[in-house]
Amino acid sequence: MLTTLSSTLTPVQTAWLRIASIPGISPATWLHFMETYSLDILQLFSDDLSFLSKKDELQVQAAIGKIRDELVTRAETWLVQNEQHHIITFSSPAYPDALRQLPSPPLVLFVTGTLSRLQQPPLAIVGSRRATQQGLGIAKSFATELAFSGLNVISGMAAGIDAAAHQGAVAVEGRTIAVVGTGPDLVYPKRHQALHTQIIEQGGAVISEFWPGMPPRAQHFPRRNRIIAAMGIGTLVVEATIKSGTLITAKMAADLGKDVFAVPGNINNPMTQGCHYLIQQGAKLVTCLDDILEEFSHLTESSQQISAASGEKSEDESLATDKLLASVDYDVTAIDIIAERNALPVSDVLAALLEYELRGLVAAVPGGYVKLRGK
């Protein structure tokens, strides 16, 4: 017998939450079983299961006996705390169709923020947690431009490239989706609390398949990454070592038939070796926004809208043509070299570079400055 714990959860939501709470049974097993018998979720909780084989009837009854209703109660408590909290089950129209292609898709999603973000096409941007300043600038710049073009940006809200991607996209109508490896009520890493709040307040969404109160665990992040790979219409990799979770995410995307893009870099930089490997394996080399948009022209806004958005950056672009900025390389450039190239005192060069840094055109790094790609 299925009982709804309160009016805040529908019977269907309660049913999906209850079977999701059963340990040791994968989503794929439940979905295959329901497909085999052409069942809807509520029929699993029927008082009469005689339409099942005797063996399957006993197995269902044994599984239902292992339901952890305390988890369902915890989910309901989280749901009623805020009107921006949503519980999306596998049979809901709001469930992302892209996730249904996974071998074992999550039965329940906990979503905070704007629910309609889940129905709009996102492009995944992923990369190293220990990204360089240049890599962070590249990820943020691509995310902003993709958002202006009408695409959402999806990533994992980890340190490094993930966070930069969210920061770049959220400023444009909140066009970002963060998939997390904790319960929906926790923020990891904790220093991203402000970013988490910004995503929600500006119209983005944060997704978790883990129960409220669930802390970060190593095995959660591959599961998070499969959601990113599946929901993304493509995956852009910005800085990754050869042995990294980023390359695993890219492989997941490729295995799902999605486009994989990679930003090249210095051949001596271990942080770009993963990107070069992906390019050798067939990923598309990307140096500008058009390299991505030409694959998704049917999904993006008109070129006039993109041009209008680009026009808002005309002041920065005019700065990018001056001699001093041109003397800063994409690799680390020492301050004395910049001063020598411009025949200016170091004090004058530092003042100009500070202005460029505030505008996001360069970044101060150990040993000098780097120009941010695309600027």
pTM listed for this prediction: 0.81
pLDDT tens track, the chain, 375 positions: 454 444 489 999 999 999 999 999 999 999 999 999 999 999 999 888 888 899 999 999 999 999 999 999 999 999 999 999 999 999 999 999 999 999 999 999 999 999 999 999 899 999 999 999 889 999 999 999 999 999 999 999 999 999 999 999 999 999 999 999 999 999 999 999 999 999 999 999 999 999 999 999 999 999 999 999 999 999 999 999 998 999 999 999 999 999 999 999 988 889 999 999 999 999 999 999 999 999 987 775 543 344 344 444 444 444 444 788 888 887 789 999 998 988 888 888 888 888 888 777 888 887 888 887 654
Q: Could you give the CA distance from residue 206 to residue 195 in angstroms, rounded to a whole number? A: 11
State how beta strands 205-208 and 176-179 pair: parallel
Mark residue 55 as left, alpha or beta (left: phi above 0; alpha: psi -120 to 50; beta: remaining).
Answer: alpha
CA distances to 147, 205, 257, 293, 317 from 233, rounded to whole Å, are 14, 17, 9, 11, 30
The pLDDT of residue 257:
95
68-85 burial, b at 16+ Cβ within 10 Å, e below that, comes to eeebbebbbbbbeeeeeb
246-263 burial, b at 16+ Cβ within 10 Å, e below that, comes to bbbbbbbbbeeebbbbbb
Residue 349, classed as helix, strand or coil, is helix
Considering only CA atoms, which of 288, 284, 245 is closest in space to residue 159? 245
What is the residue type of 160? G
DSSP classification of residue 95: S
Q: Could you give the CA distance from residue 235 to residue 153 in angstroms, rounded to a whole number? A: 10
The pLDDT of residue 46:
87
Q: Could you give the CA distance from residue 51 to residue 19 in angstroms, rounded to a whole number? A: 19
Contact assessment for residue 127 and residue 161, using Cβ atoms and an 8 Å cutoff: yes
The pLDDT of residue 126:
98
Contact assessment for residue 72 and residue 5, using Cβ atoms and an 8 Å cutoff: yes
